A = this chain, B = another copy of it.
C-alpha cells in the first residue's frame, strides 16, 4: 500500500487556502512542501535557503508572507523559544517542545489525552484557553533523532 504523501499535503493546502479565498501560488506551495518534507523546526531564514533550491528568486518577505498565511490556515505551527527567531513546525498534533541547551536542537514531545487534560486543569474558573504552549529546556542524555 504505497501512496503519495505529498498528494495529501497538496489537498490539505488547496482546501485550506480555498476556504479563506486565498490563491495557491507557487511560493505558498513550495514553502508548504519544504516544511512538510522534513520534520524539524526551521526558521524563516532556513526556509528561505531551502526554498531557493526550487525558486531561486523568492524573497525573504515572501517567505514571511507565506508562513503567515500557512499559520493562519492552521497548516503549520509557530514555535518561539525566548526571543530567538521564530521556528515553524509541521506537527499539528498537540505536543510540547524540548530544547537541548547543549546542541540547540528542538524535539517534539507528544502529549496524550490525559496529559492535555491535566494541563488544562491548571486553569482556574474564569479562564478560557484557546491554546497553550509548553516548552522545556535542558539536556538530552540519550541521543536519538
Contacts and interface: CB of A to CB of B under 8 A. Distances in A.
Contacts of A123: 98, 109, 136
Given A96-B122, A119-B119, A141-B126, A133 B134 contact: yes
Interface stretch (A4-12, A17-25, A62-70, A80-88): A80-88
Determine how many copies of this chain the complex contains.
2
B111 A127 contact: no
A125 interface: yes
Contacts of A144: 126
A38 interface: no
Size class of A's contact patch?
A: 35 or more
A142 interface: yes
B137 A122 contact: no
Nearest to A133: B135
A15 interface: no
In the complex, the 7 A-B pairs of residues with the closest C-beta atoms, listed nearest first:
A126-B142, A129-B138, A129-B136, A130-B138, A118-B118, A132-B136, A128-B138
